[in-house]
């Protein structure tokens, strides 16, 4: 049997038997199925009982005595602030507010509570606002007008194609969730695969097993077998995730409905997910091979690998800050930069379309980066793999690459 194939088989089987790999592979479908099952159990039981909260108020302006039921909140009138304070201390009300006599001219409402809060909870603020609005408009406009003033806007946005037809892929937060979750898992998969490669090389160097291996196989065969073995294992993991997504979405849509029925996967999401994983892994594997070769131990190799493995999470960090600006120059750079491209593309697919030229440039840059880094990694692999002791400096590495 070909020696490269033997190394590939060993690395692949060793990888898929790891507990961390098995957990990461099954975590998406298993947790999703558990979530759907729990929802079914809850929905088939008795509906939850929602407790009604009580809020007191003092009307010094006069005329605020209607609409005291606001959803699950009951508003209780008190004659004086002293009475309301006593009720608050006794636990009869959760809080209270005072409508001063000059409210119509100032708009100021004084709220009192026993809890320490940064600001008024939005739900409480909405209850007080609707109570005030309803009473001020009572007997002046029809009830339906009062309701529309309280909730004036229910905005529905529809995306059209360039021909004016309704697009099959619409926007919304529902389309962001799956690409964002998959982007996070893809980042973890790339990080774990490269970490295992660095760790494996470091352990083999520390145990001197690498010397035995290189007496039987060439450095190119060893590197190729390891990269392909770990890469195929990671690809299996990604394929399992991608294959389970449509099935889980259909199950959630038919079982839960509502929000889940609006989620749509972009048409090219599955294909690009696999393509960018393969390219991302090859790039990370080449970097990891070089790091593993120059590192005297597995621990030091993992520390060096952290420099580029952490960069893969940069798009996820920017997503929390700039997700509303998917077409900003920052996202274009993240899409083209090879280390961040796999995750940036996954995230952008859920928010907006990516220009064809951006995808073309991104893929071209990744391929060129892989070729360059792989070429340098093979040279470093040959020069430093059997070197022990102190890690060479960057100057020594550059000098040896030039002379080699």
Instruction: Say if CB 186 and CB 342 are below 8 A apart.
Output: yes
User: Helices (DSSP H) in 168-268: which residue ranges?
Assistant: 174-206, 209-214, 219-255
pLDDT over threshold 90, residue 376: no
Instruction: Say if CB 217 and CB 7 are below 8 A apart.
Output: yes
pLDDT confidence tier of residue 391, bands split at 50, 70 and 90? low
With 0-12 / 13-18 / 19 or more C-beta atoms within 10 angstroms meaning exposed / middle / buried, residue 102 is: exposed
The model's pTM is 0.63
Token pair of 104, please?
Answer: 């119509």
CB atoms within 10 A of CB 110: 13
Instruction: Say if CB 58 and CB 78 are below 8 A apart.
Output: yes
Residues 6+ apart with CB under 8 A from 392: 294, 384, 400
Residue-level pLDDT at 390: 61
3-state secondary structure of 159: coil
- Most confident region among 104-108, 178-182, 319-323 by mean pLDDT: 104-108
Instruction: Say if CB 75 and CB 128 are below 8 A apart.
Output: no
* Helix 143-150 × helix 122-137 angle, to 10°: 150
Residue-level pLDDT at 110: 93
CA-to-CA distance for 333 and 329, rounded, in angstroms?
Answer: 6
The angle formed by the CA atoms of residues 190, 191 and 194, to the nearest 5 degrees, is 85
Poorest-pLDDT segment among 93-97, 105-109, 385-389? 385-389
Question: How large is the average pLDDT for residues 2-25?
Answer: 83
User: Helices (DSSP H) in 65-118: which residue ranges?
Assistant: 81-90, 103-106
Residues composing the chain: 404
> Buried b / exposed e across 266-296, counting CB within 10 Å, b at 16+?
beebeebbebbbbbbbbbbbbbbbbbbbbbb
CA-to-CA distance for 323 and 334, rounded, in angstroms?
Answer: 13
Instruction: Say if CB 282 and CB 370 are below 8 A apart.
Output: yes
pLDDT over threshold 70, residue 106: yes
CA-to-CA distance for 223 and 289, rounded, in angstroms?
Answer: 7
323-360 pLDDT, tens digit per residue, is 545 567 888 888 899 999 988 888 887 676 688 899 99
In the chain, the domains with their CATH numbers are 53-150 (3.40.190.10), 171-403 (no CATH)
95's enclosing H/E stretch is strand 95-99
| Four-point Cα dihedral 377, 380, 384, 389, nearest 10 | -80
CA-to-CA distance for 57 and 152, rounded, in angstroms?
Answer: 26
Residue-level pLDDT at 3: 80
**241-249 contacts, C-beta under 8 A, 24 or more apart:** 241/25, 241/28, 241/29, 241/182, 241/185, 242/182, 242/270, 242/273, 242/274, 244/28, 244/29, 244/32, 245/28, 245/178, 245/182, 248/28, 248/29, 248/32, 248/33, 248/36, 249/178
147-205 pLDDT, tens digit per residue, is 787 777 776 666 666 787 766 555 555 566 777 777 777 788 788 777 777 777 777 77
117-154 pLDDT, tens digit per residue, is 888 999 899 999 999 999 998 878 887 787 787 777 77
Question: How large is the average pLDDT for residues 302-310?
Answer: 78
CA-to-CA distance for 280 and 193, rounded, in angstroms?
Answer: 11
363 versus 295: which is more confidently predicted?
Answer: 363
């Amino acid at each position: 049997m070909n020696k490269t194939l033997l190394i590939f088989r060993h690395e692949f089987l060793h990888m898929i038997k790891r507990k961390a790999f098995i957990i990461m592979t099954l975590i998406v479908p298993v947790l999703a199925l558990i979530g759907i099952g729990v929802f079914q159990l809850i929905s088939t039981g008795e509906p939850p009982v929602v407790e009604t909260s009580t809020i007191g108020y003092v009307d010094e302006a006069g005329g605020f005595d209607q609409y005291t039921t606001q959803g699950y909140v009951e508003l209780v009138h008190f004659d004086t602030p002293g009475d309301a304070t006593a009720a608050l201390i006794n636990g009869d009300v959760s809080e209270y507010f005072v409508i001063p006599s000059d409210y119509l001219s100032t708009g100021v409402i004084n709220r009192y509570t026993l809890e320490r809060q940064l600001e008024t909870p939005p739900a409480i603020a909405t209850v007080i606002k609707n109570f005030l609005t309803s009473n001020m408009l009572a007997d002046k406009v029809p009830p339906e007008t009062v309701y529309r003033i309280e909730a004036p806007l229910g905005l529905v946005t529809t995306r059209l194609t360039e021909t004016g037809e309704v697009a099959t892929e619409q926007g919304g937060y529902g389309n962001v969730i799956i690409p964002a979750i998959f982007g996070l898992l893809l980042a973890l998969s790339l990080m774990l695969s490269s970490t295992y490669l660095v760790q494996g090389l470091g352990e083999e160097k520390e145990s001197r097993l690498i010397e035995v291996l290189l007496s039987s196989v060439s450095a190119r065969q060893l590197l190729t077998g390891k990269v392909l073995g770990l890469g195929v294992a990671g690809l299996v993991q990604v394929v399992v995730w991608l294959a389970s997504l449509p099935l889980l979405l259909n199950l959630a849509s038919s079982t839960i409905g509502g929000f889940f029925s609006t989620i749509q996967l972009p048409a090219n999401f599955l294909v690009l997910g696999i393509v960018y994983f393969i390219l991302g892994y090859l790039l990370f594997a080449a970097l990891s091979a070089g790091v593993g070769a120059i590192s005297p131990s597995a621990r030091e190799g993992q520390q060096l690998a952290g420099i580029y493995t952490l960069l893969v999470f940069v798009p996820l960090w920017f997503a929390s800050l700039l997700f509303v600006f998917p077409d900003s120059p920052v996202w274009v750079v993240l899409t083209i930069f090879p280390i961040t491209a796999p995750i940036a593309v996954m995230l952008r697919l859920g928010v907006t379309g990516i220009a064809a030229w951006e995808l073309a440039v991104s893929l071209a840059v990744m391929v060129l980066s892989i070729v360059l880094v792989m070429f340098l990694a093979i040279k470093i692999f040959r020069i430093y793999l059997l070197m022990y002791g102190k890690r060479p400096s960057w100057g020594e590495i550059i000098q040896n690459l030039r002379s080699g």
